[in-house]
Homo-oligomer: A and B are copies of this chain.
Amino acid sequence: MTAKDGETKLALIKAARSEFIEKGFMNASLRSICKKAEVTTGALYFFFKDKDDLFDAVVGGPLCELDATIGEHLRREAEGDISDPLDETLDMDDSKRIMEILFKYKDEFILLLTKAQGSKYENIKDRLIGEMQQHYKLFADILEERFGSKKVDGFMLHYLAHVQVDSFLYLLTHSKGRDEAMKELPEVVKNLRAGGIATFGLS
């Protein structure tokens, strides 16, 4: 580190953040980012391999935090004694924790989940949905075995995961801010849970 202490790199990331958020990955221009950062293209390519790498510097961190939080959530489930699977999957405390992360980096997550086309993250939402689906799968098995629920096929399992992820994304994009999202969250979870109960035939 020189005296500048990563100043340039930070300026670049900051400029990239605002450009990416404003225009999305594909329509963002590296030239424009460099101009905003008052830095030359050469500098950019010293710190970052390419456009994707720069994008990573903006959204990678938040994504890691999210992954970690989701990971914890899943670990808790795995360890705990599951009495009511849907209660676990749509646990309010964990849901709140996740929403908290999403809003901590609101712009980054909206960017990542809705404007990442063309980047290596363009399928990130599918990855998240895939993870959620594995959980529903777990619960589906337990429910079937222990509670004699209907057998739910992979299609609907994926659907449930999809709707859940979309619902969180919906709260993120349609709330005025963290507070409104938190206020509406229980209502949304109630809706999701009712759907889940119906799908699993637990009514």
Residues in chain A within 8 A of chain B (CB atoms): 24, 26-27, 117-118, 155-156, 158-160, 162-163, 166-167, 170, 174-175, 180, 184, 187-188, 190-199, 203
The oligomer's copy count stands at 4
A170 contacts B159, C-beta separation under 8 Å: yes
- 12 extra interface residue pairs, beta carbon distance < 8 Å, beyond A155-B174, A155-B180, A159-B174: A26-B117, A155-B184, A158-B174, A163-B163, A163-B166, A163-B170, A191-B196, A191-B198, A191-B199, A194-B195, A194-B198, A195-B195
B190 contacts A198, C-beta separation under 8 Å: yes
Overall SS of chain A's interface: helix
Q: Which residue of B lies closest to A163 (CB)?
A: B163
**Smallest distance from the beta carbon of A107 to chain B beta carbons, Å?**
18
**Smallest distance from the beta carbon of A24 to chain B beta carbons, Å?**
7
**Smallest distance from the beta carbon of A51 to chain B beta carbons, Å?**
15
A197 contacts B194, C-beta separation under 8 Å: yes
Q: How far is the CA of A118 from the CA of B174 in the complex (A)?
A: 21
